[in-house]
Structure 1
């Protein structure tokens, strides 16, 4: 690890250990932390944006849009000229295109409203999911179809250092903007009229949150696949611990999401060893009972500052 950090030389007998620790394990742990932090923070933002406790980054249809581009690369070899960047580029671009489509359909003369965003995003989610399912079934059975299914279920098996910079940059920029907007998110959680009375423009803030959510979700989904439930479960758990004030929630949620996904990724390699279980399967298995327990807590509420 020290050689990887400092660029120092390694001996012939250390090559194997260097490859395992630096190239495989550490890069995967770092990427898991970035993805977990990004999904958790965007989960907080989306729930505030649509004022819906059941919302998460997937409700806007962006992740399923990214899946269309990713599957085009995995199954049909699209953008082959880009080499190792083909998958991430295709997923990110298709996520942004999905965002533009959702925005165009959901926008009205009065701007973006929570109900139209949720309904439009849900409709697009099912539409894009149908396209990806068709692509998988139309493909020849083999490694390409298996890779596509693993990506759809969420997996960090393809993690490498080349995947880290773009995802890290998008997540850090998103966290910075959300942290700066925490007070406005508190106002928005109280309702549009209250927010307007406090000097916050709800329509403009929703546009900002929509763009940030789309960019960060597209970046992390491009490198990890469709890992669900992190953006739904973590914000709720954090609110139970620190309250609903977004200034505290946005500090704790990314850390909690990062730790959660690191441990889930480790568990995914242990459960069926030597085979690897998709991370998205485990997040759902863990998330469903935890979320039900959270919702049964009488002391829990959403949106109250």
Structure 2
């Protein structure tokens, strides 16, 4: 498989063969399981290890466990894995390593869709809200791709800057309409990533994002090819427009399901694919499982950290991820700028 024309970061020191193979995946799964257990046990309500493995349906602690903690942990895993893979697809179709749904207007468009639902049909079921948010996210992402095609120069640093400006315009429009209709407080529910309100019956939309992530794995080779450009795709017999549309739909639906369920999780889809690509390269078929697992691990780690910093209170995961992700994003940009001279 040829290397794609993505503006990727320089490769780090190659990892040992055992790490890039099944040994690394096994270790990553063990870390995921350990963090999942920590996520289940950590919180304002004390849950001991014995409660986890000897749950009684009549016990109050067990009810907290299965009504709140387990659904929250599952939601974190599903959201982290699917958002990381969506970011990877975004980078493939945009052919730029410095973009992801929250930096190109996809997340902002989904939030605008949620505001439209709150104003026009506030009683719409969760699935309906997700559908509206997905349509808005799809339109916003498509507009960004049209802008991208018309850029005179496809500079590696210009694309993310244009994306940030475009995302800022959408967020400003959302804030304006929210202020106009006295909904500023309401939009905080889906613009700040927070899993503290996740309960049984309120996270199941994220299983849709898992299905879309699996679909992305099956289509990984196609996304790798379109990441090489339209001409290469045509030479290899891959329908560029069709798979571009498939990628946009996956990104929009994954973003919408996460925004509707827990709010905005910034930068996750940017930093995880970049870190994985330093070890695994740009071949999506090989690295998509790594991206999904690393996304889930990072989400769990940030959520547990947010619950421990000011225990028994907690910092929203969107805040933790925003600080960490923005620092890494600036580091990536600075490294690329130094590389370009």
TM-score normalised per structure 2: 0.70
Task: Report the Cα offset of residue 239 of structure 1.
Answer: 0.8
Q: What CA distance in whole angstroms lies between the structure 2 residues aligned with 1:10 and 1:215?
A: 35
Inter-partner Cα distance in structure 2 for 1:276 and 1:145 = 23
Structure 1 segment 98-247 matched on structure 2, within 5 A: 98-100=137-139, 103=142, 105=143, 114-115=148-149, 125-137=167-179, 146=185, 148-169=187-208, 171-247=209-285
Verify the 8 A CA contact 1:43 1:235 in the aligned structure 2: yes
Secondary structure of 2:312's counterpart equals coil
The runs of at least 4 aligned residues of structure 1 exceeding 6 Å deviation read 117-121, 295-298
> Shift of the alpha carbon at 1:54?
1.0
Deviations 1:4-60 (A, max 9, x none): 99xx9633xx12x02322212111111011111111000010100110111101244
Partner of 2:57: 10
- Point out the more displaced range, 34-43 or 49-58: 49-58
SS in structure 2 of the partner of residue 163 of structure 1: coil
Q: Using structure 1 for the length normalisation, give the TM-score.
A: 0.77
Partner of residue 90 from structure 1, selected from 115, 122, 129: 129
> Distance between the aligned counterparts of 2:334 and 2:112, measured in 1?
36
Q: How many residues align?
A: 278
Greater share of residues in helix = 1
In 2, are the aligned partners of 1:63 and 1:221 still within 8 Å (CA)? yes
Deviations 1:227-259 (A, max 9, x none): 101000000011112222111121110111011
* 1:61 CA displacement: 2.3
1:263 alignment partner in structure 2: 301
| Alpha-carbon contact 1:95-1:218 (below 8 Å) kept | yes
Q: After superposition, what is the alpha-carbon deviation per residue over 1:185-231, rounded to whole angstroms, capped at 9, x for unaligned?
A: 22222222222111112222111111111111111221111110100
User: Following the alignment from structure 1 to structure 2, what is the Cα–Cα distance between the partners of residues 129 and 115?
Assistant: 22
Q: How far apart in 2 are the matches of 1:19 and 1:145?
A: 34
Displacement of 1:163: 2.7
Cα distance 1:43–1:72, how it changes in 2: closer, same or farther (>3 A)? same
Deviation at 1:295, TM superposition (A): 6.3
> In structure 2, what is the Cα distance between the partners aligned to 1:154 and 1:161?
18
- Corresponding residue of 1:287: 325
Deviation at 1:123, TM superposition (A): 6.4
CA distance in 2, matches of 1:196, 1:268: 47
**Cα distance change on mapping 1:233 and 1:148 into 2, 3 Å:** same
Residue aligned with 1:276, SS: coil
Alpha-carbon separation, structure 1, partners of 2:327 and 2:163 = 25
Unaligned runs of 5+ in 1: none
Q: What's the offset of the Cα at 1:291?
A: 4.2
Q: CA RMSD in A?
A: 3.3
